Protein backbone atom coordinates (compact mmCIF):
# COMPACT_ATOMS: atom_id res chain seq x y z
CA UNK A 1 0.00 0.00 0.00
CA UNK A 2 1.12 3.54 -0.74
CA UNK A 3 0.33 6.53 1.45
CA UNK A 4 -0.05 10.26 0.93
CA UNK A 5 -0.70 13.35 3.00
CA UNK A 6 -4.31 14.48 3.16
CA UNK A 7 -4.20 17.92 1.58
CA UNK A 8 -1.77 20.25 3.33
CA UNK A 9 -1.92 18.31 6.60
CA UNK A 10 0.58 15.89 8.08
CA UNK A 11 -2.08 13.17 8.22
CA UNK A 12 -0.97 10.10 6.25
CA UNK A 13 -3.74 8.17 4.54
CA UNK A 14 -3.66 5.12 2.31
CA UNK A 15 -4.23 5.79 -1.40
CA UNK A 16 -7.52 3.92 -1.11
CA UNK A 17 -10.23 4.64 1.45
CA UNK A 18 -12.72 1.89 2.28
CA UNK A 19 -16.23 3.32 2.12
CA UNK A 20 -18.43 1.76 4.79
CA UNK A 21 -21.89 2.61 3.48
CA UNK A 22 -22.22 -1.04 2.44
CA UNK A 23 -21.79 -2.27 6.01
CA UNK A 24 -24.54 -1.97 8.60
CA UNK A 25 -28.00 -3.46 8.25
CA UNK A 26 -30.04 -4.50 5.19
CA UNK A 27 -33.07 -3.06 6.98
CA UNK A 28 -31.81 0.31 5.71
CA UNK A 29 -31.00 -0.74 2.12
CA UNK A 30 -31.37 -4.31 0.80
CA UNK A 31 -27.83 -4.40 -0.61
CA UNK A 32 -26.16 -3.52 2.71
CA UNK A 33 -24.20 -6.32 4.42
CA UNK A 34 -24.86 -7.07 8.08
CA UNK A 35 -22.11 -7.10 10.69
CA UNK A 36 -21.07 -10.72 10.29
CA UNK A 37 -20.92 -10.39 6.51
CA UNK A 38 -18.96 -7.13 6.81
CA UNK A 39 -16.15 -8.31 9.05
CA UNK A 40 -14.02 -9.99 6.32
CA UNK A 41 -13.86 -6.71 4.39
CA UNK A 42 -12.39 -4.79 7.30
CA UNK A 43 -9.91 -7.59 8.00
CA UNK A 44 -8.81 -7.78 4.37
CA UNK A 45 -8.50 -4.00 4.05
CA UNK A 46 -6.34 -3.68 7.14
CA UNK A 47 -4.20 -6.66 6.15
CA UNK A 48 -3.62 -4.98 2.78
CA UNK A 49 -2.47 -1.75 4.44
CA UNK A 50 -5.58 0.41 4.11
CA UNK A 51 -5.69 2.75 7.11
CA UNK A 52 -8.48 5.07 5.95
CA UNK A 53 -12.17 4.27 6.55
CA UNK A 54 -15.16 6.49 5.73
CA UNK A 55 -18.71 6.21 7.01
CA UNK A 56 -21.57 8.59 7.93
CA UNK A 57 -24.13 8.87 10.67
CA UNK A 58 -26.97 8.39 8.19
CA UNK A 59 -25.63 5.11 6.76
CA UNK A 60 -27.93 2.43 8.17
CA UNK A 61 -29.07 5.21 10.53
CA UNK A 62 -26.03 4.82 12.74
CA UNK A 63 -25.53 1.07 12.49
CA UNK A 64 -22.71 1.51 9.95
CA UNK A 65 -20.75 3.53 12.50
CA UNK A 66 -21.32 0.85 15.13
CA UNK A 67 -20.20 -1.96 12.80
CA UNK A 68 -17.22 0.06 11.57
CA UNK A 69 -16.09 0.97 15.07
CA UNK A 70 -16.23 -2.59 16.38
CA UNK A 71 -14.41 -4.02 13.36
CA UNK A 72 -11.64 -1.43 13.44
CA UNK A 73 -11.09 -1.92 17.16
CA UNK A 74 -10.86 -5.69 16.61
CA UNK A 75 -8.69 -5.86 13.51
CA UNK A 76 -6.62 -2.69 13.63
CA UNK A 77 -4.65 -0.35 15.85
CA UNK A 78 -6.76 2.77 16.31
CA UNK A 79 -3.75 5.04 16.69
CA UNK A 80 -2.68 4.11 13.14
CA UNK A 81 -6.13 4.23 11.54
CA UNK A 82 -7.91 7.26 10.12
CA UNK A 83 -11.63 7.18 10.84
CA UNK A 84 -13.90 9.54 8.94
CA UNK A 85 -17.62 10.11 9.30
CA UNK A 86 -20.14 12.69 8.13
CA UNK A 87 -23.06 14.81 9.31
CA UNK A 88 -26.02 16.50 7.56
CA UNK A 89 -28.71 14.08 6.43
CA UNK A 90 -31.61 13.11 8.73
CA UNK A 91 -30.95 10.48 11.38
CA UNK A 92 -34.35 10.92 13.01
CA UNK A 93 -37.74 12.50 12.47
CA UNK A 94 -37.32 15.66 14.55
CA UNK A 95 -36.53 19.08 13.10
CA UNK A 96 -33.13 19.17 14.83
CA UNK A 97 -32.04 15.70 13.71
CA UNK A 98 -30.58 16.98 10.44
CA UNK A 99 -28.72 19.87 8.87
CA UNK A 100 -25.66 21.84 9.94
CA UNK A 101 -26.86 23.92 12.88
CA UNK A 102 -24.56 24.17 15.88
CA UNK A 103 -27.04 22.09 17.89
CA UNK A 104 -27.22 19.25 15.40
CA UNK A 105 -23.50 19.19 14.61
CA UNK A 106 -22.44 18.97 18.25
CA UNK A 107 -25.11 16.42 19.18
CA UNK A 108 -24.45 14.34 16.06
CA UNK A 109 -20.72 14.31 16.72
CA UNK A 110 -21.23 13.08 20.28
CA UNK A 111 -23.56 10.36 19.01
CA UNK A 112 -21.05 9.30 16.34
CA UNK A 113 -18.29 9.09 18.94
CA UNK A 114 -20.44 6.76 21.04
CA UNK A 115 -21.36 4.57 18.09
CA UNK A 116 -17.78 4.37 16.80
CA UNK A 117 -16.45 3.73 20.29
CA UNK A 118 -13.64 6.28 20.01
CA UNK A 119 -12.69 9.45 21.85
CA UNK A 120 -11.86 11.47 18.75
CA UNK A 121 -12.99 11.39 15.12
CA UNK A 122 -10.03 11.86 12.77
CA UNK A 123 -11.95 13.48 9.91
CA UNK A 124 -15.42 14.94 10.51
CA UNK A 125 -17.12 15.99 7.27
CA UNK A 126 -20.23 17.89 6.34
CA UNK A 127 -22.14 15.52 4.05
CA UNK A 128 -23.60 18.43 2.06
CA UNK A 129 -23.75 22.21 2.42
CA UNK A 130 -26.81 23.45 4.30
CA UNK A 131 -28.73 26.11 2.30
CA UNK A 132 -30.49 27.34 5.45
CA UNK A 133 -27.75 27.59 8.08
CA UNK A 134 -25.09 30.32 7.69
CA UNK A 135 -21.71 28.80 6.95
CA UNK A 136 -20.28 30.80 9.86
CA UNK A 137 -22.48 28.92 12.33
CA UNK A 138 -21.44 25.59 10.85
CA UNK A 139 -17.74 26.41 10.87
CA UNK A 140 -17.83 27.80 14.41
CA UNK A 141 -19.44 24.57 15.60
CA UNK A 142 -16.84 22.46 13.80
CA UNK A 143 -14.03 24.61 15.21
CA UNK A 144 -15.48 24.08 18.69
CA UNK A 145 -15.31 20.31 18.16
CA UNK A 146 -11.69 20.52 17.05
CA UNK A 147 -10.64 22.61 20.05
CA UNK A 148 -12.58 20.39 22.43
CA UNK A 149 -10.61 17.37 21.21
CA UNK A 150 -13.59 15.54 19.72
CA UNK A 151 -12.44 16.03 16.10
CA UNK A 152 -8.95 16.26 14.61
CA UNK A 153 -9.64 17.51 11.08
CA UNK A 154 -12.71 18.70 9.18
CA UNK A 155 -13.77 18.11 5.61
CA UNK A 156 -16.65 18.75 3.22
CA UNK A 157 -18.51 16.77 0.60
CA UNK A 158 -20.33 17.58 -2.63
CA UNK A 159 -20.95 21.25 -3.15
CA UNK A 160 -20.39 24.05 -5.60
CA UNK A 161 -16.91 25.55 -5.78
CA UNK A 162 -18.23 28.96 -4.70
CA UNK A 163 -19.66 27.41 -1.53
CA UNK A 164 -16.39 25.73 -0.72
CA UNK A 165 -14.38 28.88 -1.45
CA UNK A 166 -16.71 30.89 0.80
CA UNK A 167 -16.19 28.38 3.62
CA UNK A 168 -12.40 28.42 3.26
CA UNK A 169 -12.43 32.21 3.30
CA UNK A 170 -14.61 32.38 6.41
CA UNK A 171 -12.30 30.00 8.26
CA UNK A 172 -9.30 32.14 7.40
CA UNK A 173 -11.00 35.38 8.43
CA UNK A 174 -12.07 34.02 11.82
CA UNK A 175 -9.07 31.81 12.53
CA UNK A 176 -11.27 28.71 12.62
CA UNK A 177 -10.37 25.14 11.69
CA UNK A 178 -10.25 24.84 7.92
CA UNK A 179 -11.60 22.14 5.62
CA UNK A 180 -8.71 19.88 4.62
CA UNK A 181 -10.60 17.60 2.24
CA UNK A 182 -13.38 17.56 -0.33
CA UNK A 183 -15.29 14.33 -0.88
CA UNK A 184 -16.75 14.88 -4.32
CA UNK A 185 -18.45 13.05 -7.17
CA UNK A 186 -15.62 12.39 -9.60
CA UNK A 187 -14.84 9.58 -12.05
CA UNK A 188 -14.20 8.97 -15.73
CA UNK A 189 -17.91 9.27 -16.54
CA UNK A 190 -18.42 12.43 -14.48
CA UNK A 191 -15.63 15.02 -14.73
CA UNK A 192 -17.53 18.27 -14.23
CA UNK A 193 -15.52 18.75 -11.01
CA UNK A 194 -12.52 19.53 -13.21
CA UNK A 195 -14.06 22.87 -14.17
CA UNK A 196 -13.84 24.63 -10.80
CA UNK A 197 -13.72 22.35 -7.75
CA UNK A 198 -10.56 20.41 -8.63
CA UNK A 199 -8.53 23.54 -9.50
CA UNK A 200 -9.75 25.18 -6.29
CA UNK A 201 -8.64 22.16 -4.25
CA UNK A 202 -5.25 22.11 -5.96
CA UNK A 203 -4.72 25.81 -5.33
CA UNK A 204 -5.83 25.60 -1.70
CA UNK A 205 -4.01 22.29 -1.09
CA UNK A 206 -7.20 20.43 -0.21
CA UNK A 207 -7.21 16.66 -0.66
CA UNK A 208 -9.93 15.17 -2.89
CA UNK A 209 -11.66 11.94 -1.86
CA UNK A 210 -13.79 10.97 -4.88
CA UNK A 211 -16.97 9.04 -4.17
CA UNK A 212 -18.51 6.67 -6.72
CA UNK A 213 -15.10 6.22 -8.38
CA UNK A 214 -16.47 3.33 -10.46
CA UNK A 215 -19.76 5.06 -11.31
CA UNK A 216 -21.94 2.52 -9.49
CA UNK A 217 -20.16 -0.35 -11.22
CA UNK A 218 -20.45 0.97 -14.77
CA UNK A 219 -16.68 1.48 -15.00
CA UNK A 220 -16.07 -1.97 -13.54
CA UNK A 221 -17.98 -3.59 -16.40
CA UNK A 222 -20.58 -5.07 -14.07
CA UNK A 223 -23.54 -3.67 -16.00
CA UNK A 224 -24.43 -4.07 -19.65
CA UNK A 225 -26.31 -0.76 -19.76
CA UNK A 226 -27.47 2.05 -17.50
CA UNK A 227 -30.90 0.46 -17.34
CA UNK A 228 -29.47 -2.97 -16.43
CA UNK A 229 -31.10 -3.63 -13.07
CA UNK A 230 -30.14 -7.31 -12.94
CA UNK A 231 -26.43 -6.86 -12.25
CA UNK A 232 -26.92 -6.67 -8.49
CA UNK A 233 -29.41 -5.92 -5.76
CA UNK A 234 -27.97 -2.44 -5.53
CA UNK A 235 -28.37 -1.83 -9.26
CA UNK A 236 -32.03 -2.78 -8.91
CA UNK A 237 -32.79 -0.70 -5.82
CA UNK A 238 -30.33 2.21 -5.76
CA UNK A 239 -32.75 5.00 -6.63
CA UNK A 240 -30.14 7.68 -5.91
CA UNK A 241 -27.65 6.02 -8.22
CA UNK A 242 -30.25 6.03 -10.97
CA UNK A 243 -30.24 9.84 -10.83
CA UNK A 244 -26.46 9.99 -11.22
CA UNK A 245 -26.12 7.84 -14.34
CA UNK A 246 -28.86 7.76 -16.95
CA UNK A 247 -29.16 7.51 -20.72
CA UNK A 248 -26.62 10.33 -21.11
CA UNK A 249 -23.79 8.04 -20.00
CA UNK A 250 -21.05 7.98 -22.63
CA UNK A 251 -20.46 4.31 -23.34
CA UNK A 252 -17.42 5.14 -25.45
CA UNK A 253 -15.63 5.80 -22.16
CA UNK A 254 -16.70 2.44 -20.74
CA UNK A 255 -15.45 0.74 -23.88
CA UNK A 256 -12.14 2.63 -23.67
CA UNK A 257 -11.71 1.32 -20.13
CA UNK A 258 -12.58 -2.17 -21.33
CA UNK A 259 -10.05 -2.00 -24.18
CA UNK A 260 -7.15 -0.81 -22.02
CA UNK A 261 -8.03 -3.34 -19.31
CA UNK A 262 -7.90 -6.07 -21.95
CA UNK A 263 -4.54 -4.87 -23.21
CA UNK A 264 -3.17 -4.76 -19.69
CA UNK A 265 -4.77 -8.02 -18.62
CA UNK A 266 -6.33 -6.45 -15.52
CA UNK A 267 -9.92 -5.84 -14.35
CA UNK A 268 -11.65 -2.72 -15.63
CA UNK A 269 -11.97 -1.39 -12.09
CA UNK A 270 -8.20 -1.14 -11.80
CA UNK A 271 -7.97 1.04 -14.90
CA UNK A 272 -10.69 3.42 -13.73
CA UNK A 273 -9.13 3.73 -10.26
CA UNK A 274 -5.60 4.10 -11.64
CA UNK A 275 -6.86 7.04 -13.71
CA UNK A 276 -8.17 8.75 -10.57
CA UNK A 277 -4.95 8.01 -8.68
CA UNK A 278 -2.99 9.72 -11.47
CA UNK A 279 -4.64 13.05 -10.68
CA UNK A 280 -2.55 15.28 -8.36
CA UNK A 281 -5.55 16.56 -6.40
CA UNK A 282 -6.81 13.07 -5.56
CA UNK A 283 -5.66 11.70 -2.21
CA UNK A 284 -7.77 8.56 -1.97
CA UNK A 285 -10.81 7.37 -3.93
CA UNK A 286 -13.51 5.97 -1.66
CA UNK A 287 -14.10 2.41 -2.75
CA UNK A 288 -17.15 0.33 -1.92
CA UNK A 289 -17.13 -3.45 -1.89
CA UNK A 290 -19.74 -6.10 -1.17
CA UNK A 291 -17.62 -8.92 -2.61
CA UNK A 292 -14.04 -9.59 -1.57
CA UNK A 293 -12.91 -9.81 -5.18
CA UNK A 294 -14.09 -6.21 -5.65
CA UNK A 295 -11.80 -5.14 -2.84
CA UNK A 296 -8.92 -7.13 -4.27
CA UNK A 297 -9.46 -5.56 -7.71
CA UNK A 298 -9.31 -2.10 -6.15
CA UNK A 299 -6.13 -2.92 -4.25
CA UNK A 300 -4.43 -3.83 -7.51
CA UNK A 301 -4.94 -0.30 -8.83
CA UNK A 302 -2.50 1.23 -6.35
CA UNK A 303 0.57 -0.07 -8.20
CA UNK A 304 -0.86 0.41 -11.69
CA UNK A 305 0.60 3.39 -13.55
CA UNK A 306 -1.11 4.43 -16.78
CA UNK A 307 0.84 5.88 -19.68
CA UNK A 308 0.12 9.34 -21.03
CA UNK A 309 -1.36 7.74 -24.16
CA UNK A 310 -3.66 5.51 -22.11
CA UNK A 311 -4.87 8.48 -20.08
CA UNK A 312 -5.52 10.43 -23.27
CA UNK A 313 -7.50 7.51 -24.70
CA UNK A 314 -9.64 7.30 -21.57
CA UNK A 315 -10.32 11.03 -21.49
CA UNK A 316 -10.88 11.72 -25.19
CA UNK A 317 -14.56 10.61 -25.47
CA UNK A 318 -15.79 12.75 -22.55
CA UNK A 319 -18.67 15.15 -23.17
CA UNK A 320 -20.01 17.76 -20.71
CA UNK A 321 -22.62 16.43 -18.30
CA UNK A 322 -25.36 18.05 -16.20
CA UNK A 323 -24.31 18.72 -12.63
CA UNK A 324 -25.08 15.64 -10.52
CA UNK A 325 -24.49 14.56 -6.96
CA UNK A 326 -24.68 17.94 -5.22
The residues annotated as belonging to the active site are 59
DSSP type of residue 250:
-
Residues 6+ positions from 169 with CB-CB distance below 8 Å? none
Return d(Cα 105, Cα 101) in angstroms, integer: 6
Residues 6+ positions from 165 with CB-CB distance below 8 Å? 200
Runs of H (alpha helix) within the chain: 35-47, 63-75, 102-116, 135-147, 161-174, 197-204, 233-237, 239-244, 251-264, 268-277, 292-300, 308-315
| Secondary structure class of 275 (helix, strand, coil) | helix
Residues 6+ positions from 150 with CB-CB distance below 8 Å? 109, 110, 113, 119, 120, 121
Q: Are 301 and 277 in contact (CB under 8 A)?
A: yes
Amino acid sequence: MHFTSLGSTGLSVSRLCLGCMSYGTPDWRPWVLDEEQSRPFFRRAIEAGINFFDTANMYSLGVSEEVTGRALREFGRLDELVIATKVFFPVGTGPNSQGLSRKHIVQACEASLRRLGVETIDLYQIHRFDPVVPIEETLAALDHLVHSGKVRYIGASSGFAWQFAKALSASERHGWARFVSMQNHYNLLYREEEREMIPLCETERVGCLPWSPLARGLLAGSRSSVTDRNASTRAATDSYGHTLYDDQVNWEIVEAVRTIAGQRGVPMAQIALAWLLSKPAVAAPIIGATKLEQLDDALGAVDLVLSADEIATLEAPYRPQPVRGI
